[in-house]
């Protein structure tokens, strides 16, 4: 049996697998060249935190690009909503109220969702190309972030809110990390078992046992390894492990939710159908316009969530937050296998893309590569990744 | 006589100032196949798209069981039991056969999430009735052959208990065996009491299958004939000449 057949039988996405292998290769090389610093618990902890903002937004960008659109405004929406949350917390709402931070967080996410829906409305119901609408959004909301306080930086933020950013206190500790890790493993195994049962019930052969066991083993190893690494990084001058950082927890929850949205809901199915053939989707009774608005609304909400993490991490609102983040987000989605032609992409791929990009960035910083050269190299990686992907796809479809 | 299943009255469709279809009246009864013939650009596809909800009509009316109905979207048409097999097939190339078959009408679990296994099983069942060796309802349909894709589109049109079927060039991409299967399928559906509009270039096909033929030219209805009472030459003359010869 050929490798390709085996992969198909194991229901492994060759593209995702390729990216996983690329990530392992990058990590190995960076670890060797940095003398073991790259794969230290401390660096991996930082890498995870650094990946979370772009990762959160990349999960939404997958939907936007799959639906044949683009969103250039996410960096500015991040800045604008982050600023709005900061102002709300420090100036509009009573500063010492316990409900202050949840209310401002919820309001910020609602604001981001509304901004996204508003942009989506221009795209869907007024026929203005998404490139133009969101380019305008990039300008407008960057300006808006400045106008909110006339350029003033806003601080301090609520102490509990700051935990979202994953600072010194912003992790859940070793006990909770082990507990959540254990739960995640149980949930993974249970969902695989349910899937096997459902396939049998509908008369389909379940996955071959070697593939099932292999999949579960890899998933368990990744979860357990992740938790152990996060627990191994200790607080300063102590033996107390930090555990999973809260922004990474937010990223994981977001990734899970967006994966479910893409694979198990009508909305997700329609986004992919639209990306594959918009006319066919419309003829099948899909309300293409409404789905388009929905896609941009999700993206706006996620940009605001990323804005909350950024603001909390800085412990202040500044009007330049998220500048150029739209480009990293799009790059993460594209490196993660999302096709700009639409119809193809996955949430786990986009997260992998974000981690790959952040790994390169982080590793090159450790190696003392200048920021100018880093930009050049990451640009080259972007072209290389897309070229490799399209070359592989041509080979796959021609055989 | 009972009311026709579908009746088009004075249907008009303009694109800009150009009349694609004008003043067309046509009826379809339960259990009959009406062939719709005409040159490219005669208005066949436009007329059918009006009925399938892809193009809202500009004037005239559509009656179902004798009652006027409003068909503004494909969803409306489906609600009235009108299913369409488009010439372009209208499949999302990146989705599998099952996802395409149920697009817009997914089977969901009690939680409201997609029940892919149930859809895959049902899809396999209906497609295999047409194409017994079909076995992969998950592979994106872009990886299927032209004939298989056609079968997926046909399966979608017949799976949902249609009363009226519009088939636009149903055998264009098919080999002889598959064409035969589609012909047999049409005969069976007709016996079950469906009304079928068959749009085709292929006079041979149309004469073989249909009870009546409607000829369009330049957006107008030239005439409707019982298939058994006309010759191919007469119909050809109607198509080419655009005038009612008989």
Asked if residue B14 and residue B108 are part of one domain, the reply reads no
Q: What is the pLDDT of residues A283-324, one digit of tens each?
A: 999 999 999 999 999 999 999 999 999 999 999 999 999 999
Higher pLDDT, B244 or A273: A273
Reply yes or no on whether the pLDDT at A17 is more than 50: yes
Determine the distance in angstroms separating the CA of A202 from the nearest CA of chain B, rounded to an integer.
6
Reply yes or no on whether the pLDDT at A1 is more than 70: no
Q: What is the pLDDT of residues A35-49, one digit of tens each?
A: 999 999 999 999 999
Inter-chain residue contact A269 with B103, CB threshold 8 Å: yes
Asked if residue B134 and residue B69 are part of one domain, the reply reads no
- B93-B94-B100-B105 Cα dihedral, nearest 10 degrees: -130
Distance of alpha carbon B184 from alpha carbon B188, whole angstroms: 6
Inter-chain residue contact A285 with B92, CB threshold 8 Å: no
Residue B137 lies in a domain: yes
A residues 342-361 closer than 8 Å to B (CB): 343-344
Asked if residue B105 and residue B220 are part of one domain, the reply reads no
φ, ψ of residue A150 to 5 degrees: the values are 55, 35
B74: which chain A residues are within 8 Å (Cβ-Cβ)?
282-285
Asked if residue B1 and residue B72 are part of one domain, the reply reads yes
Asked if residue B178 and residue B154 are part of one domain, the reply reads no
Asked if residue B126 and residue B142 are part of one domain, the reply reads yes
Which residue is listed with tokens 């250039």? A72
Confidence of residue A399 (pLDDT cuts 50, 70, 90): very low
Higher pLDDT, A92 or A12: A92
Residue B89 lies in a domain: no
Q: What is the pLDDT of residues B124-162, one digit of tens each?
A: 999 998 888 888 899 999 999 888 898 899 999 999 989
Reply yes or no on whether the pLDDT at A11 is more than 50: yes
**Closest Cβ–Cβ partner in B88, B92, B118 for A281:** B92
B84: which chain A residues are within 8 Å (Cβ-Cβ)?
283
Q: Which domain holds residue B135?
A: 95-161
Asked if residue B44 and residue B133 are part of one domain, the reply reads no
Higher pLDDT, A352 or A1: A352
Check if the beta carbon of residue A87 is closer than 8 Å to that of residue A149. yes
> Which parts of B105-219 are beta strand (E)?
164-168, 195-199, 212-217
Instruction: Enumerate residue ranges in chain B where pLDDT < 50.
Output: 246
Q: Quick check: B90 contacting A, CB < 8 Å?
A: yes
CATH number reported for the structural domain that contains residue B189 in this entry: 3.40.50.300
- Looking at residue A318, its pLDDT comes to 92
Question: What is the average per-residue pLDDT within A316-342?
Answer: 92
Q: Quick check: A199 contacting B, CB < 8 Å?
A: yes
- Looking at residue A190, its pLDDT comes to 95
Residue B12 lies in a domain: yes
**Closest Cβ–Cβ partner in A263, A269, A344 for B106:** A269
Among candidate residues B113, B133, B161, the one where a domain is terminated: B161
Among candidate residues B136, B161, B186, the one where a domain is terminated: B161
Average pLDDT in chain A: 92
- Looking at residue A216, its pLDDT comes to 94
Confidence of residue A396 (pLDDT cuts 50, 70, 90): low
- Looking at residue B124, its pLDDT comes to 93
Q: How many domains does chain B have?
A: 2
Q: What is the pLDDT of residues A360-385, one digit of tens each?
A: 999 999 999 999 999 999 899 889 88
Find how far residue A164's CA is from the centre of its chain: 16
Asked if residue B111 and residue B184 are part of one domain, the reply reads no
**Closest Cβ–Cβ partner in B73, B93, B117 for A277:** B93
- Looking at residue A389, its pLDDT comes to 75
Asked if residue B141 and residue B27 are part of one domain, the reply reads no
Confidence of residue A74 (pLDDT cuts 50, 70, 90): very high
Among candidate residues B144, B161, B178, the one where a domain is terminated: B161
Asked if residue B215 and residue B230 are part of one domain, the reply reads yes
**Closest Cβ–Cβ partner in A265, A269, A283 for B90:** A283
- Looking at residue A397, its pLDDT comes to 59
Inter-chain residue contact A286 with B103, CB threshold 8 Å: yes
Helix (H) or strand (E) holding B27, with range, is: strand B18-28
Residue B55 lies in a domain: yes
Question: What is the average per-residue pLDDT within A313-338?
Answer: 93
Reply yes or no on whether the pLDDT at A24 is more than 60: yes
A residues 234-273 closer than 8 Å to B (CB): 260, 263-266, 269, 272-273
Question: What is the average per-residue pLDDT within A321-347?
Answer: 92
Check if the beta carbon of residue A374 is closer than 8 Å to that of residue A392. no
- Looking at residue B108, its pLDDT comes to 94
Residue B144 lies in a domain: yes
Inter-chain residue contact B121 with A281, CB threshold 8 Å: no
Confidence of residue A390 (pLDDT cuts 50, 70, 90): confident
- Looking at residue B245, its pLDDT comes to 55
Inter-chain residue contact B120 with A204, CB threshold 8 Å: yes
Higher pLDDT, A100 or A114: A114
Reply yes or no on whether the pLDDT at A205 is more than 70: yes
Asked if residue B244 and residue B171 are part of one domain, the reply reads yes
Q: Quick check: B119 contacting A, CB < 8 Å?
A: no
Determine the distance in angstroms separating the CA of B126 from the nearest CA of chain A, rounded to an integer.
15
Higher pLDDT, A86 or A16: A86
Asked if residue B77 and residue B177 are part of one domain, the reply reads yes
Higher pLDDT, A399 or A211: A211
Residue B223 lies in a domain: yes
Residue B179 lies in a domain: yes
Determine the distance in angstroms separating the CA of B116 from the nearest CA of chain A, rounded to an integer.
8
Percentage with pLDDT > 70 across chain A: 98
Q: Which long-range contacts (CB under 8 A, 24 or more apart) does A33-42 make?
A: A33/A363, A33/A367, A34/A363, A34/A366, A34/A367, A37/A366, A38/A362, A38/A363, A38/A366, A41/A229, A41/A230, A41/A232, A41/A233, A42/A233
B104: which chain A residues are within 8 Å (Cβ-Cβ)?
281, 284-286
Residue B219 lies in a domain: yes
């Amino acid at each position: 049996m050929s490798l390709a057949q085996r992969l198909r039988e194991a229901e492994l996405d060759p593209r995702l697998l390729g990216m996983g292998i690329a990530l392992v290769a990058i990590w190995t090389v960076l670890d060797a060249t940095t003398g073991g610093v790259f794969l230290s618990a401390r660096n991996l902890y930082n890498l995870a935190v650094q990946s979370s903002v772009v990762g959160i937004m990349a999960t939404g960008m997958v939907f936007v690009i799959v639906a044949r659109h683009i969103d250039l405004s996410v960096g500015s929406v991040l800045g604008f909503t982050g600023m709005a949350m900061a102002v709300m917390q420090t100036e509009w709402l009573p500063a010492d109220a316990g409900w202050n931070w949840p209310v401002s967080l919820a309001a910020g996410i609602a604001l981001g969702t509304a901004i996204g829906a508003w942009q989506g409305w221009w795209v869907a119901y007024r026929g203005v190309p998404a490139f133009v609408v969101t380019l305008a959004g990039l300008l407008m909301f960057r300006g808006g972030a400045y106008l909110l306080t006339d350029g003033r930086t806003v601080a301090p933020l609520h102490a509990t809110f700051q935990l979202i950013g994953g600072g010194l206190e912003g992790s859940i500790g070793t006990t909770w990390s082990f507990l959540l890790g254990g739960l995640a493993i149980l949930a993974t195994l249970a969902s695989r078992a349910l899937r096997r049962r459902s396939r049998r019930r509908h008369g389909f052969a379940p996955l071959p046992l070697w593939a099932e066991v292999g999949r579960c083993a890899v998933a368990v190893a990744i979860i357990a390894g992740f938790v152990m690494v996060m627990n191994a990084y200790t607080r300063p001058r102590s033996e107390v492990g930090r555990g999973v950082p809260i922004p990474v927890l937010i990223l994981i929850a977001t990734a899970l939710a967006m994966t479910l949205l893409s694979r198990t809901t009508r909305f997700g199915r329609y986004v992919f159908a639209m990306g594959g053939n918009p006319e066919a989707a419309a003829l099948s009774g899909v309300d293409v316009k409404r789905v388009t608005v929905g896609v941009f609304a999700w993206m706006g909400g996620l940009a605001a969530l990323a804005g909350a993490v950024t603001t909390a991490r800085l412990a202040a609102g500044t009007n330049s937050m998220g500048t150029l983040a739209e480009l990293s987000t799009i790059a993460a989605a594209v490196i993660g296998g999302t096709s700009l032609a639409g119809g193809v992409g996955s949430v786990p791929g986009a997260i992998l893309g974000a981690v790959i990009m952040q790994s390169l960035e982080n590793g090159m910083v450790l190696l003392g590569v200048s920021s100018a050269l880093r930009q050049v190299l990451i640009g080259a990686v972007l072209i290389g990744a897309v070229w490799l992907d399209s070359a592989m796809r041509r080979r796959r479809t021609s055989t | 006589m009972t009311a026709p299943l579908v009746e088009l009255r004075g249907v008009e469709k303009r694109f800009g100032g150009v009349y694609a279809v004008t003043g067309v009246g046509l009826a379809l009864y339960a259990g009959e196949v009406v062939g719709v013939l005409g040159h490219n650009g005669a208005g066949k596809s436009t007329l059918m798209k009006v009925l399938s909800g892809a193009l809202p009509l500009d004037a005239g009316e559509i009656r179902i069981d004798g009652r006027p109905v409003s068909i503004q979207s494909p969803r409306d048409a489906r609600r009235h039991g009108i299913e369409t097999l488009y010439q372009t097939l209208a499949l999302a190339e990146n989705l599998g056969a099952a996802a395409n078959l149920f697009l817009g009408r997914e089977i969901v679990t009690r939680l409201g999430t997609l029940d892919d296994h149930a859809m895959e099983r049902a899809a396999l069942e209906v497609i295999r009735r047409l194409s017994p060796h079909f076995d992969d309802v998950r592979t994106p349909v872009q990886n299927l052959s032209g004939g298989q894709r056609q079968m997926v589109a046909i399966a979608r049109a017949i799976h949902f208990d249609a009363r009226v079927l519009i088939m636009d060039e149903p055998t264009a991409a098919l080999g002889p065996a598959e064409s035969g299967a589609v012909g047999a399928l049409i005969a069976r559906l007709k016996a079950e009491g469906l009304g079928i509009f068959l749009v085709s270039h292929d006079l041979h096909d149309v004469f073989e299958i249909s009870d009546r033929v409607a000829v369009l030219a330049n957006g107008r209805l030239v005439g409707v004939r019982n298939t058994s009472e006309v010759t191919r030459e007469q119909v050809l003359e109607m198509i080419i000449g655009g005038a009612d010869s008989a």
